[in-house]
Structure 1
Amino acid sequence: MVYEKTTETRQAIIDACLRMNAEGINQGTSGNISVRVGEEMLITPSGIPYDQLTPKDIIRVRLESGQVRGLHKPSSEWRFHCDLLQARPDMQAVVHAHPVHCTALSMLRQPLPACHYMIGLFGGSDVPVAGYARYGSAALSEAVVAVMEDRHGCLMANHGATVLGEDLGKALWRLGELEILAQSYLAARAVGEVVLLSDQEMAEAIEAFKDYGPK
């Protein structure tokens, strides 16, 4: 039963990767996905095209020690996946990718402000930007974990975006919503000055999101 459940989760990760690329949220193998399984995480391997992945290619990483088990190297971003899941026991999945509009904002190093009530889906009145550090580095992990302390998503300076989810489906959904919000914000800003919601309006939206979705 444990083996069957793990195999099912491995296939769900592959399916989510394929969906990201099909929906234009990611390109190539630049994205990566992890899911908590007990004291470990399952994560995509480094550099293997998603359409070539099979369940046995997904890598196990021990959350506390970083010990790796699998046929391949884990994603180069395994460190911040591991550190996020340790720092946020309320979250079960991490999805990272390079959506075009999120990445454009990250290149400007500008947070996504309170331009729409759906910003509240990410736990605050904006979606912050984690400071730049080389991909795969401990410094990048520290920067991402710091801004995600009380958030469900962030932009990453000159890099892309990362989201958390109570499960893999919610994480993938949040990434899609984040990209749409970034696209809408940049489109509006190209036309004129964006009118932002007030702190009170955002506080109401954030509170409402606590009871959002199916029971």
Structure 2
Amino acid sequence: MVHQEKDLRELVIKTARSMNALGINVNKSGNVSVRARVGELEGFWITPTGIAYEDLVAQDIVFVALDGLPHEEFAKQRKASSEWLMHAEVYRHRQDVSAIVHTHSVYATALACQDLCIPAFHYMVAVAGGNSIKCAPYALFGSEELAKIAAEALEKENACLLSHHGVLAVGGSLSAALKLAHEVENLAHMYTLTRQLGEPKLLSEAQMQEVMERFKKYGQQ
């Protein structure tokens, strides 16, 4: 069990460093978590606040219990990311989600700063699970309000923009969540360029539904 816990914590560190290496995050911004169970406690491992990703070791990764109660065995941990409430709320609402990646990627965040969603300008928008990648309303970082807003935005989709803030992507694994966050930034870049060419021409709801049905059979089954 101890080795499994360490492996998960090291995977959180690897994912956090990968965000920066991919260019979808900078410095200590953003955060990463993975759902876990420690003993009888259900919760998640999350990056700590205020520590550069390249300096992290497994012991720095923080366990947060979903019951919201303090637990003596974790009292001497590092302080969790300022966004731990947001991660907890998403995990409570989405039992199918095993990992969360939050970035401040440039193009997606630029759109979020204008309260713009990413509409169906390209079929790959459906990779997030809907006809668009919505932009959730603004709320102060680290607040209960933002946590509730984020969970609501991800009720049916697997990624959203956070107004004047960044990107939130979820998945069945850390790898899946990271890949989705990277794809959202790529789409945001393409959409920004498309807007410069004129009014974007959007795919219809029926066309996007066809894409989502095709995605169910895409790749190695």
Structure 2: distance between partners of 1:52 and 1:211: 41
Residue 171 (structure 2) aligns with: 165
| Alignment RMSD | 1.2
1:131 aligns with 2:137: yes
User: In terms of mean alpha carbon deviation, does 57-66 or 181-190 score higher?
Assistant: 57-66
Please give the secondary structure, in 2, of the residue aligned with 1:74.
coil
- Tell me if 1:119 matches 2:125: yes
Moved beyond 4 Å, runs of 4+: none
1:20 matches 2:19: yes
Instruction: Determine the C-alpha separation between the residues in 1 that align with 2:27 and 2:69.
Output: 26
Equivalent residue, structure 1, for 2:35: 36
CA contact (8 A) 1:154 1:161 kept: yes
Question: What is residue 63 of structure 2 aligned with on the other side?
Answer: 60
For 2:182, which of 176, 180, 183 is the aligned residue?
Answer: 176
Alignment partner, residue 54 of structure 2: 51
Contact conserved, 1:66 with 1:82, CA < 8 A, in 2?
no
Segments of structure 1 that go 5 or more residues without pairing to the other structure are none
Which shifted more, 48-57 or 189-198?
189-198
Residue 135 (structure 1) shift? 0.2
| Native 8 Å contact 1:34 1:94 kept in 2 | yes
Question: Normalising by the residue count of structure 2, what TM-score does the alignment of the two structures yield?
Answer: 0.93
Amino acid at match of 1:5: Q
Question: Following TM superposition, by how much is the alpha carbon of 1:143 offset from its aligned partner in structure 2, in angstroms?
Answer: 0.7
Aligned residues: 214
How far the C-alpha of 1:213 sits from its partner, in A, is 4.3
Partner in structure 1 of residue 99 of structure 2: 93
2:62 & 2:176 partners in 1: Cα distance?
21
Give 2:168's aligned amino acid: T
**1:142: how far off?**
0.9
Equivalent of residue 185 in structure 1, options 178, 191, 215 = 191
Structure 2: which 5+ residue stretches go unaligned?
A: none
Deviation larger for 96-105 or 198-207: 198-207
| 2:18 match: secondary structure | helix
What are the within-5 Å matches in structure 2 for residues 146-157 of structure 1?
Answer: 146-157=152-163
- SS where residue 196 of structure 1 aligns? coil
Q: 3-state DSSP class of the match of 2:169?
A: strand
The question of whether the paired residues in 2 share the 8 Å contact of 1:26 and 1:97 is answered with yes
TM-score by length of 1: 0.96
Deviation track 1:114-153 (CA, whole Å, cap 9, x = no partner) reads 0111111111100011110100000001111111100100
Percent identity over the alignment is: 38
